[in-house]
Structure 1
Amino acid sequence: MNVAPAPKTPAPGRSRSPGAALAALAGAQFTVMVATSIVNVALPQIRAGTGLSDGAVTWVVNAYGLAFGALLPAGGRAADLLGRRRVLTVGLALFAAGSLAAGLATAPGPLIAARAVQGLAAAAIAPAALALAMAQFPGGTGRGRALGVWGAVSGAGGAGGVLLGGVLTQAWGWPWIFHSVALGSALVLAAAAVLVPADSGPVTGRQPAGAAGGFDLAGTVTVTLALTCLVWGLTTARGAGWDDGPVLAALGAAAVLLTAFVVIERRRPDALIPPRLFTTGRVASGNLLMALLGSVWIALFFFLPLYQQQVLGSGPLATGAGQLPLAAANMIGATLAPRLARRLGATATTTAALLTEALGLLWLSRIDAGGGYLTDILGPSLLVGLGLGIAFVQLTGLAVDGVPPGDAGLAGGLVNTTRQVGGAIGLAVLTTLAGSVTGHAAARGHLEALTAGYRAAFAVSAAVLAVTALLTVLLARCTGRTTTDATAAPGARVRPDGRAARTGHA
């Protein structure tokens, strides 16, 4: 008698429907990215509604980005220790609460505090969601497609947040940008509860040598204070000057705290960011390159809407709609990234993507006070979006490539940390630069002065990406390997040109 084979049971942590689980997890990533940029169009209205000063308005952006970036390693470690699905659901619930509080705020203090709570929650969501998504697709072309989806929703979240912020601000007022995020978080939480498989608490599997089961509170506090001092000092220097006493004290404290953090991490067996992680795969190079990419990413979505509103005179809705071509190009780039990497080699693909984005930013550095959307923004936006989508997919894959299962959440948190912290520092530096240039150009008229500041920010951003492209090539030559091709099959050899070498029979 023939006996029907028993149905295959998915591996622990894997869903019977990986595509549905990926959709729910991508929804979590999209929500986190939307919250990064949804405030940008509404900043003038938020400033008027809460009494924010010109100098404090950047903290509506940076309070979220800084808390998000500084606490991401802690979020990733917590996901590895406590269970990724559990940390994801708690993070989504806290994210909804923080978003609701931000929408109800009527003064600067509560608003900025609520944005920091959003960032704290996002620091739990992002690494847990990425680790869960990678667990659904352990390797091969499936992982490449998953990373493509991840890159597409991340880029679409950044640009889509600007569009959504414009629509909601113009229709119902700025508080609804936060209420909508709260509602979206609740919906994603419900989807994750149904579609994402439960894991068995702490992550099991092969643990790297030296891994411990504790939580590094000292390292978490030290690095958070260090990054807060650094970003505060850079942001305050815009109005107070680089020789201001509190600015110098904040920057000095940041240097001391970062040094202390390095010492703590070298001595603790349960380090928040263990030094061994940087000897795994290509984590170090991936995070360095992602930090540089992030330093211009957030600033782009800060300055571009301001130029459209303050110089071109566009309303919130038109400004948000103007981001649609950039979002579309970004999604196309993220979708094409795995295919291009297989055909051209990962290093060539990443370098070309970074240079394409740099070219778009260089084009934006030629914006005019009397310009228009079609002549000054549309063309560069397409180049920037395409390059950003491809580069993000490749660098995310690079930063988690070869990491043992027990460190997957930590690695996912770290790459998001470098992007967010790089973005917070880059925004602080570029807003200080733009403000300085605008001040020196004040005699040329208000609109001309503003445009000069934005041009300077875009030009420096283009230069940073050109340097990043050069570093991509140099790091590939130094390591003898290249930026990851996330679509290579498990165990596949990688040639020096970044393409997967053929194995077995032709």
Structure 2
Amino acid sequence: MENTSVNSRSSEDIEVKQERDTRTEGNQDVRAKTPTQPERPESPIKEAAFVAVVCAAQLMTQTGLSLAIAPLHIINDSFHASSKQLTWASAAYSLTVGTFILVAGRLGDLYGHRLMFIIGFTWFGLWCIVGGFSAGSNLVFFTFCRALQGIGPALLLPNAVAILGRTYPPGPRKDMIFSFFGATAPGGYSLGASFSSLLAERVWWPWGYWIMGIACVIFAGLGILVIPYTPTEERQDDGFSWFVRLDITGAVTGITALVLINFAWNQGPVVGWDMPYTYALLIVGFILLGGFLAIERKAPCPLLPPSVFKGEVAWVLGCISAGWSSFGILVYYYYQFLEVIDGDSPLLATAKWAGSSASGACASVVTGFLLGRISPSIIIFIAMIAFTIGQVMLATMQEGQVYWAQAFVLMLITPWGMDMSFPSGTVIMSNSMPREHQGVAGSLVTTVVNYSISLGLGFAGTVQSYVDDDGKDTLKGYRGASYMGVGLAGLGVVLASCFMLITWLRRDRDPKSKSLSEQPV
């Protein structure tokens, strides 16, 4: 009887505590937050379908990137274009993906992540279909279509991350889900490269874009069926108009700055840096970027919350920027080396890269287990080491060398950089921001990843144009571009080392304090 009474009182105490916790959270009324928590699918089958459709955003984004890299020379020959314009086919896509993501994340926070997810796939599919029909036009229109295709993933990626971030609380389950999300990247790239190469060689390259468009429309429909309704955060009437809430002034300034900077770096190798408009646009872009940062500091509803400017978040984004810019160089020049120098067909070159899917999946599973067990700063450091090793192997690869010596090894190692840095960085950002800013949290990492890929190609293209003796020594140009990638990956190692050191010093100074990188993620 006494034990029963004690248990009854304990149960009552727990119920009272739960009721008190429901009323207050951090001395703030959370009644507005309760109805905004998305419902997690009830059955394992429904949850698997939900996770698969959301992860398809990452899968199709990387598929879209590879559509113009593997069969690039076939596409370029069909337009009878100069080889100096080759990088634009992939750079234009990554440019808009990385540029418009921040705005897309804010749109999701305000109008619903599920809605933006569905619109993103629909837009992506539409412009993939139009891109296929650009075969009857010229390379300029094809590049224009590639740029508009990138707006689709810009809508997809941050809102997919936000849907997962709001559905799953911090913990091992969330870590593994985000690792699955990252694992689809190398698989998506291999999928797109394989089918685009096969269709380009055996049928006609536009079929790759038409099939891609149809698949995107199907995923949009699946999103309607399997993604639960994700209501927007209810906010008290603060008197701000939609113009202020979307931070239109900051958005226009920031997007213009990023576009100009990226355009200048990728156009410079095409027309030459002696053209006045290239460096003029670069200067204007940096001026506008400074203006954007000043606007964000004072904006009532900034696209970049104040927490972005904190040291540890900046370290994470800096490491990811350096590592992924080197990855963009590696994957582009890997194909160029195999196809141009060794004479492989696009399909054979893709087959030599195909093992990256399995390697990336292993890396993601390992990262899922490591998150929460060791500091993410260590995981990011290991990722930067993987990027660097892959770049060094590409830069020193010899003409006619047996595939198993270096090309095979770098193909296995590089995905570990991708699938260790992206999940850990995304989880840190997701856990460091409140639920109403999950769209922005999701957009920050994906913005840095995709914009860095495009910018890295611009850096490498500039180096290539200055060291290849006006196209007479192609191998020398490729090596110069690859060494540019080595420098960027090495910068990532330095930043990650500093980040890890700062984390350890802070822990030793105050063992009870936990930085963002050491919090359970």
Matching residue of 1:462: 486
Within 5 A, what are the aligned runs for 1:318-357? 318-357=348-387
- From 384, 397, 412, the equivalent of 2:442 is 412
- From 95, 99, 105, the equivalent of 1:70 is 99
Matching residue of 1:255: 286
Q: Secondary structure in 2 aligned to 1:270?
A: coil
Within 5 A, what are the aligned runs for 1:92-111? 92-105=121-134, 106=136, 107-111=138-142
Question: Is contact 1:309–1:315 with CA below 8 Å preserved after alignment?
Answer: yes
Structure 1 residue 54 and structure 2 residue 83: aligned?
yes
Q: Please give the alpha-carbon distance, in whole angstroms, between the structure 1 residues aligned to 2:156 and 2:284.
A: 29
Amino acid at match of 2:186: G
Structure 1 residue 91 and structure 2 residue 117: aligned?
no
Question: Is contact 1:229–1:254 with CA below 8 Å preserved after alignment?
Answer: yes
Structure 1 residue 185 and structure 2 residue 211: aligned?
no
Unaligned 5+ runs, structure 1: 1-8, 443-448, 484-492, 502-506
Within 5 A, what are the aligned runs for 1:491-502? none
Q: Please give the alpha-carbon distance, in whole angstroms, between the structure 1 residues aligned to 2:100 and 2:516.
A: 36
Structure 1 residue 474 and structure 2 residue 498: aligned?
yes
How many residue pairs get matched? 476
Q: Please give the alpha-carbon distance, in whole angstroms, between the structure 2 residues aligned to 1:219 and 1:434.
A: 35
- From 291, 304, 319, the equivalent of 2:321 is 291
Amino acid at match of 1:258: L
- From 354, 373, 391, the equivalent of 1:361 is 391
Q: Please give the alpha-carbon distance, in whole angstroms, between the structure 1 residues aligned to 2:514 and 2:313.
A: 19
More deviation in 390-399 or 323-332? 390-399
Amino acid at match of 2:154: A
- From 394, 400, 405, the equivalent of 2:424 is 394
Structure 1 residue 15 and structure 2 residue 46: aligned?
no
Structure 1 residue 435 and structure 2 residue 459: aligned?
no
Aligned-residue sequence identity (percent) comes to 22
C-alpha displacement of 1:498? 6.5
C-alpha displacement of 1:344? 4.7
Question: Is contact 2:327–2:387 with CA below 8 Å preserved after alignment?
Answer: no
Amino acid at match of 2:494: L
Question: Is contact 2:103–2:251 with CA below 8 Å preserved after alignment?
Answer: yes
Q: Secondary structure in 2 aligned to 1:198?
A: coil
Q: Please give the alpha-carbon distance, in whole angstroms, between the structure 1 residues aligned to 2:257 and 2:395.
A: 32
Amino acid at match of 1:336: V
Matching residue of 1:425: 455
1:418-455 CA deviation, whole Å, 9 max, x = no partner? 1111111111001211232222783xxxxxx3222222
Matching residue of 1:33: 62
Amino acid at match of 1:420: N
C-alpha displacement of 1:282? 4.4
Matching residue of 1:378: 408
Amino acid at match of 2:173: G
Matching residue of 1:5: none
1:130-189 CA deviation, whole Å, 9 max, x = no partner? 111222221110011011101101232234332232222222221122112112212211
Q: Secondary structure in 2 aligned to 1:373?
A: coil
- In structure 2, the CA distance between the partners of 1:496 and 1:72, relative to structure 1 (3 Å rule), is closer
- In structure 2, the CA distance between the partners of 1:46 and 1:205, relative to structure 1 (3 Å rule), is same
Amino acid at match of 1:116: A
Matching residue of 2:28: none
Q: Please give the alpha-carbon distance, in whole angstroms, between the structure 2 residues aligned to 1:494 and 1:175.
A: 55
C-alpha displacement of 1:303? 1.0
Matching residue of 1:445: none
Amino acid at match of 1:391: S
Q: Please give the alpha-carbon distance, in whole angstroms, between the structure 2 residues aligned to 1:430 and 1:228.
A: 18
Question: Is contact 1:88–1:124 with CA below 8 Å preserved after alignment?
Answer: yes
Matching residue of 1:231: 262
Amino acid at match of 2:441: A
Q: Please give the alpha-carbon distance, in whole angstroms, between the structure 1 residues aligned to 2:488 and 2:220.
A: 37
The TM-score normalised by the length of structure 2 is 0.84
- In structure 2, the CA distance between the partners of 1:206 and 1:377, relative to structure 1 (3 Å rule), is farther
Q: Secondary structure in 1 aligned to 2:297?
A: helix
- In structure 2, the CA distance between the partners of 1:312 and 1:412, relative to structure 1 (3 Å rule), is same
C-alpha displacement of 1:286? 2.2
- In structure 2, the CA distance between the partners of 1:441 and 1:126, relative to structure 1 (3 Å rule), is closer
Q: Please give the alpha-carbon distance, in whole angstroms, between the structure 2 residues aligned to 1:362 and 1:296.
A: 11
Q: Please give the alpha-carbon distance, in whole angstroms, between the structure 1 residues aligned to 2:236 and 2:71.
A: 47
Amino acid at match of 1:452: K
Q: Please give the alpha-carbon distance, in whole angstroms, between the structure 2 residues aligned to 1:30 and 1:497.
A: 28
Question: Is contact 1:100–1:179 with CA below 8 Å preserved after alignment?
Answer: yes
Q: Please give the alpha-carbon distance, in whole angstroms, between the structure 2 residues aligned to 1:116 and 1:440.
A: 28
C-alpha displacement of 1:480? 5.7
1:98-126 CA deviation, whole Å, 9 max, x = no partner? 00000000222321221122111211111
Q: Secondary structure in 2 aligned to 1:269?
A: coil
Q: Please give the alpha-carbon distance, in whole angstroms, between the structure 2 residues aligned to 1:65 and 1:425.
A: 9
Q: Please give the alpha-carbon distance, in whole angstroms, between the structure 1 residues aligned to 2:183 and 2:165.
A: 15
C-alpha displacement of 1:373? 2.4
Within 5 A, what are the aligned runs for 1:204-283? 204=234, 214-279=245-310, 282-283=312-313
Question: Is contact 1:287–1:399 with CA below 8 Å preserved after alignment?
Answer: no
More deviation in 461-470 or 121-130? 461-470
Question: Is contact 1:21–1:133 with CA below 8 Å preserved after alignment?
Answer: no
More deviation in 73-82 or 318-327? 318-327
C-alpha displacement of 1:276? 4.3
What is the root-mean-square deviation of aligned Cα atoms in Å? Answer: 2.9
Q: Please give the alpha-carbon distance, in whole angstroms, between the structure 1 residues aligned to 2:116 and 2:506.
A: 33
C-alpha displacement of 1:199? 1.7
Question: Is contact 1:206–1:404 with CA below 8 Å preserved after alignment?
Answer: no
C-alpha displacement of 1:456? 2.5
Matching residue of 1:137: 168
- In structure 2, the CA distance between the partners of 1:390 and 1:211, relative to structure 1 (3 Å rule), is farther
The TM-score normalised by the length of structure 1 is 0.87
Q: Secondary structure in 2 aligned to 1:374?
A: coil
Q: Secondary structure in 2 aligned to 1:383?
A: helix
Question: Is contact 2:428–2:517 with CA below 8 Å preserved after alignment?
Answer: no
Larger Rg: 2
Unaligned 5+ runs, structure 2: 1-34
- In structure 2, the CA distance between the partners of 1:319 and 1:301, relative to structure 1 (3 Å rule), is same
Q: Secondary structure in 2 aligned to 1:357?
A: helix
Q: Please give the alpha-carbon distance, in whole angstroms, between the structure 2 residues aligned to 1:18 and 1:203.
A: 23
C-alpha displacement of 1:11? 4.6
C-alpha displacement of 1:197? 0.3
C-alpha displacement of 1:234? 1.4
Question: Is contact 2:127–2:145 with CA below 8 Å preserved after alignment?
Answer: yes
More deviation in 425-434 or 227-236? 227-236
Q: Please give the alpha-carbon distance, in whole angstroms, between the structure 2 residues aligned to 1:352 and 1:414.
A: 21
